[in-house]
Structure 1
Amino acid sequence: MENQRNVSEFIFMGLSSDQKIQMFCFVFLFCYIVILVGNLLILVSIKCSVLFHQPMYYLLSHLSSMDICYTSCVTPTLISDLLLGRKTISYGNCMLQVFTMYFFGIIEVFVLTVMAFDRCVAICKPLHYMIIMTRTSCNLLIVAAWAGGAVHAFSQFSVIVTLPFCGPNEIDHYYCDIFPLLKVACTDTYVTGVLVVANSGMVALVTFVLLFGSYVIILFTLRNHSAEGRRKALSTCGSHIIVVTLFFGPSIFAYLRPPTTFPEDKIFSLFYTIIAPMFNPLIYTLRNTEMKKAIRKVSCQKIFSEEKHN
């Protein structure tokens, strides 16, 4: 299709045509720093404590890694575009962004689903928990998440990379997403759009059913627990439910619908590309006593080590 591609770069129309929106680059920069620092703090605290050997926190460390990778596909570009006033991206980098966004995004969805399964086993089968959720089982589930992300990303990428782009090159978005790209392709993209929605819709539907089913089973099982047991279980699951809602809600609006674009898409995209990854470390640390203890312990060890060195 190279002979049908005359476009060497795309121009982002950004979040808004209002030049005052550039002031928000510092807000996004702050959010990105919070994402990096918060998730790195979780990774280091889990890795350097006994929590690393517990399946729930081992999976949480993978979620933090995906948060960093996923938001780094978009946020640095958005910040630099707003700061420098440059809103162009080469064709190759645009295609790379499409692939990485779907790759890390779907891995994060699958990791969230695995975390729901982990909580379901812990609450419903507590005596068999360590037998079912062994380190080998966790690693296999993580490998499956990566494999699923690769399959989904390659399928979406193969659809968009074969499209001809020979005319308009202005994308009504702040990053390269499939629907805005379909809009500027110089061919009829209705069938392509339906395939994209069907692909994303199948993934969203399956994961939603698994997540919903897991929490129905958890709530049903908690009826037989003591009040203290219910409180502790709901506290742990509550953090996961909040994270899932922040990530899935806007994503479902963006991808489970006819293949078209709306001005509101860019605002909803902020939720699952920046806002949800920013709140994930806050939700999992502020609502989790063990994580707070691990962070304090690692911080104290670091301070003590520096004082001893000096």
Structure 2
Amino acid sequence: MSNQTTVKEFFIVGLPSLPELRILAFLIFLLMYIVTLSVNLTLISIVRISHHLHRPMYFFLSNLSFLEMGYVSVTVPRMLNSLLTQRTKISFEGCFLQLFFFTFLGATENILLGLMSFDRYVAICHPLRYTTIMCSKVCIQLIFATWFIAFLTTSFPIILISKLPFCGPNVIDHFFCECSPLLKLACGNVYFGDLAVTVCASVVILCSVMVTLVSYIYILTTILKISSTGNQKAFSTCASHLMVVIIFYGTLLAMYIKPTARDAQQNKVMAVLYAIVTPLINPFIYSLKNKDVKEALYQYVIKKRSY
């Protein structure tokens, strides 16, 4: 198999666009990238600066923002460079590094969203024991476990795909190196590579979804037992997370369950939603729907103006 692997570089087609719209597309995606980085970085800074946000919920939220800054940076800068310079070449090793970091950060976010659901379950269903169960030490351990599990589940399919023979063609019909278009370029039998992607993605996604579903079943059961005022307050702490979960898992399930069963244009649309749009809107959802974050941001702006 190693003797057949003659491809040393790939050419990325990118997003379909007319030549005269290339600059416009570059400016739009550049603006989206800058806003994504700025808003997520602001959210991380607010959580670190504001002492009343030093709680597990916001600790996990700042980790989520860090992840989104990471995987949007894995894909968008190269895409912007291609739009501006029309250079589409990427080395074999560079392609698989991009694929690894994108899937690794995405898998980490999957598990983190499930973890955030569990955090909301403990906060609402066991409020008196919340600070004991979700202490700082436990939160840090859970974050390390999240990254470690994501690394293990990501490494196996990526290594398996990289060992496949690539002997041409070497044109990736996508705007970054992604599993589905890479599998289509392999010369050998891609059954096990496709199966590994589907199984690993399904395990990570479905386990996270199950944790989220079970957590919210208990949360809703508890909320229905309390007064209407407490009901609204309890549900407001979950609304932002639930909205992010629905958007994230909706695009992710469509993207990674049977990745070779869709055409190239469908893959690109799904990838744009997952890799670019979702990291952009998530921090707005959290900041606009969360009273504590809005108050902390307001206090920060007022303090800056006073100086």
Q: TM-score, normalised by structure 1?
A: 0.94
Per-residue CA distance 1:2-53 (angstroms, 9 max, x = gap): 4322212111122216435522221111111111100110111110111342
Deviation at 1:151, TM superposition (A): 0.5
Contact 1:15 1:21 in 2 (8 A): no
Three-state SS of the structure 2 residue aligned to 1:109 is helix
Corresponding position: 1:270 with 2:261 = no
Aligned-pair CA distance for 1:258: 6.1
Give the distance between the partners of 2:195 and 2:34, measured in 1 at CA.
Answer: 37
Relative distance call for 1:194 and 1:21 in structure 2 (3 A) is: farther
The equivalent residue for 2:295 is 293
Say which SS state the counterpart of residue 10 (structure 1) adopts: strand
Equivalent residue, structure 2, for 1:8: 8
Alignment-mate amino acid for residue 239 of structure 1: S
Q: Is the 8 A contact 1:11 1:88 kept in 2?
A: yes
How far 1:256 moved relative to its partner? Answer: 1.6
Do 2:157 and 2:193's aligned partners in 1 also have CA atoms closer than 8 Å? no
Q: 1:170 matched to which residue of 2? A: 171
Q: Are 2:209 and 1:212 aligned?
A: no
1:225, CA displacement in angstroms? 1.3
How far the C-alpha of 1:83 sits from its partner, in A, is: 1.8
Asked whether the 8 Å contact 2:110–2:204 carries over to 1, the reply is: no
Alignment of 1:6-45 (within 5 A): 6-16=6-16, 18-22=18-22, 23-45=24-46
- Residues 113 and 208, structure 2, Cα contact 8 Å, conserved in 1: no
Q: Which amino acid aligns with 2:271?
A: S
Distance of 1:78 and 1:242 partners within structure 2:
28
Q: Aligned with 2:90: secondary structure?
A: strand
Partner of 2:57: 56
- Provide the aligned length of Structure 1 versus Structure 2: 305
Partner of 2:102: 101
In 1, Cα distance between equivalents of 2:195 and 2:96: 20
What does 1:57-206 correspond to in 2, within 5 Å? 57-206=58-207
2:282 counterpart residue number: 280
Q: How far has the Cα of 1:193 moved from its partner?
A: 0.8
Shift of 1:298: 2.3
Deviates most, 198-207 or 64-73: 198-207
Percent of aligned pairs sharing the same letter = 38
Superposed, which structure 2 residues align to 1:226-265 within 5 Å? 226-257=227-258, 259-262=260-263, 263-265=265-267
The alpha-carbon deviation at position 115 of structure 1 amounts to: 0.8
Q: Is the 8 A contact 2:179 2:259 kept in 1?
A: no
Contact map agreement 2:12 2:176 (CA 8 A) in 1: yes
